[in-house]
Amino acid sequence: MRITACLALIGLSLSPLYACSPNKPAEMAQQAPPVSAPATSPPAAPPVTIPVSLNAVMVALVDHASEPLWLDAYEAPKTADRWREAEYNAYQMAVSGKLIQLPGSGPNDADWVAAPEWKAFADEMSAAGMDALTAAQAKDVNALNIAGDRLVASCETCHKKFKGDLTSMGIYKSPNYPPK
């Protein structure tokens, strides 16, 4: 219908052509900010960063969620509630593999996340977390075992390449976690 109407208008004269284009020149002239007023354009959003160090994320999230999963793979959860905890831990692994691709406040974080290998190792950890999620949802302890092996390999590969002997912020794994 609209095209027919436009074609009809073109037949009448050239000026009504403007009525058919999505941005009429008159409107565009009104909307375009004057060159001398750059303040009207919105500022570019600052890049997303983590408010704590990647060292802290390792200890408080990555390690916290992975340890119970390995214990579950060793001795299968006995209740539906415990399986649900395994499922939640697996979500945390899948997400933290993506989260650690953002820099935090640690002195080396920006350099680490800029390295292509870092991204590959972190993606691998996330994929292992997704395997653990499938296993936990199916309450399949064998599959959880296989996912756990993939997970630990992802930690070790990255630590070998990037983690020195000392942690950058002095934050270490708790020796008493998980609680008995």
The residue (of 90 and 158) whose beta carbon lies closer to ligand HEC is 158
Span from 12-20, 39-47, 72-80, 120-128 in contact with ligand HEC (CB under 6 A): 120-128
Q: How far is CA 152 from CA 103, 148, 159, 165, in A?
A: 22, 6, 11, 18
By the 8 A CB rule, do 178 and 71 touch?
Answer: yes
CA dihedral for 58, 62, 66, 67, sign (positive or negative): positive
The residue (of 20 and 102) whose beta carbon lies closer to ligand HEC is 102
The first and second tokens of residue 81, run together, are 């509630």
> Smallest Cα–Cα separation from 119: which of 142, 143, 137, 103?
103
The residue (of 7 and 115) whose beta carbon lies closer to ligand HEC is 115
141 binds ligand HEC (CB under 6 A): no
104 binds ligand HEC (CB under 6 A): no
98 binds ligand HEC (CB under 6 A): no
105 binds ligand HEC (CB under 6 A): no
29 residue type, one letter? A
Element (H, E) at 84: helix 80-99
> Smallest Cα–Cα separation from 70: which of 180, 151, 153?
151
133 binds ligand HEC (CB under 6 A): no
The residue (of 18 and 177) whose beta carbon lies closer to ligand HEC is 177
Span from 9-17, 21-29, 52-60, 78-86 in contact with ligand HEC (CB under 6 A): 52-60
73 binds ligand HEC (CB under 6 A): no
- Strands annotated E in 81-125: none
Interface residue list for ligand HEC (CB under 6 A): 53-55, 58-59, 62-63, 66, 100, 106, 108, 112, 118, 121-122, 125, 151, 154-155, 158-159, 162-163, 167-169, 172-173
